[in-house]
Amino acid sequence: MRNIAQRHKIILNELEKDGYVRVQDLSDRLGVSEVTIRKDLKELERRKLLFRSHGSASPMSSLIDDRHIDEKEKIQVDEKLRIAEAANLLLKKNDRIIIASGTTVLNFAQKITLTEPLTVITASVKVTLSLYYKPNIEVIQLGGSTRKSSASVIGPNAESLLSELMCNKLFIGVDGIDLDFGLTTSNIAEAHLNQYMIKAAQEVIVLADSSKFGKRGFGKICDIGQIHHIITDKDAPLNTVQIIRERGIEVTLV
């Protein structure tokens, strides 16, 4: 039987590799009771090495900071382009879609090749500008206060308009995907606007590269169970992907 230090090392290694661990899986792998694993997780949380939640844990390093969109555009570029191309295939004639803010959904907007009529509602100023000269696309720019770090709008004016709409699909980017805490972004006002977007859409499609898994932002958008489809890259932690699929959510790896 492994001693405490060995178990703790294995637990932290699994967290680093998968971005998420389950008590039951650790119990089976390490050959100890779930009670023992919970004690291990409690001690590691006390040492500020992870977050505990019901039946699982995620890395303490998962907390994220707000960064400017110009900085984000330079990160995971190839992965975001592949995700955008896959999302583009989901569009159909006369779709009414919402595009949220962020670099991955911006890449998606720039990759739209549909030549038939399409209506786009968006909070992102950059998305509006990228679609402005496409004659088949009607763009409805949400109004409100501008959030400079994301080049998008937030606030009650945008939320009020969304509450009067019903769209086919929402394409949303996030800063964090955590199996227990849900989908998050680094700004609470943006998270609140995203909640209105979810209510206005029949299908919620998350566009997020693999670096977003196991992360938590300041503002919670929704629980995992409120989304329908995630498009991400092949480096996404397979253990987490499998759990998400078991919950009935489609995951596309590109």
Asked if the model's pLDDT at residue 92 lies above 60, the reply is yes
Asked if the model's pLDDT at residue 61 lies above 60, the reply is no
- Three-state DSSP class for residue 186: coil
Which residues share a beta bridge with 232?
A: 253
Split at pLDDT 50, 70, 90, the class of 149 is confident
The angle subtended at Cα 58 by Cα 220 and Cα 54, nearest 5°, is 80
Beta carbons of 228 and 249 less than 8 angstroms apart: yes
Mean pLDDT of 206-224: 92
- Give the integer Cα–Cα distance in Å for 179 and 225: 9
Tell me the CA distances in angstroms from 195 to 200, 201, 216, 220, one per residue in order.
Answer: 9, 10, 16, 9
Q: What is the pLDDT of residues 2-49, one digit of tens each?
A: 789 999 999 988 887 777 788 999 999 999 999 999 999 999 888 888
- Give the integer Cα–Cα distance in Å for 135 and 148: 28
Q: What is the pLDDT of residues 123-140, one digit of tens each?
A: 999 999 999 999 999 999
Residue-level pLDDT at 2:
79
Split at pLDDT 50, 70, 90, the class of 64 is low
In order, the DSSP letters of 192-250 are: HHHHHHHHTEEEEEEE--GGGBT-B-SEEEE-GGG--EEEE-TTS-HHHHHHHHHTT-E
Lowest mean pLDDT among 105-109, 143-147, 212-216: 212-216
Mean pLDDT of 65-76: 63
DSSP state of 132: T
Beta carbons of 173 and 107 less than 8 angstroms apart: no
Instruction: For each of the domains in the chain, give its residue range(s) and CATH number, in order of start.
Output: 4-62 (1.10.10.10), 69-253 (3.40.50.1360)
Residue-level pLDDT at 62:
58
Residue-level pLDDT at 74:
60
Q: What is the pLDDT of residues 160-196, one digit of tens each?
A: 999 999 999 999 999 999 888 899 998 999 999 999 9
Question: In 3D, which of 192, 179, 173 has the Cα closest to residue 62?
Answer: 179
Sign of CA dihedral 95, 84, 15, 215: negative
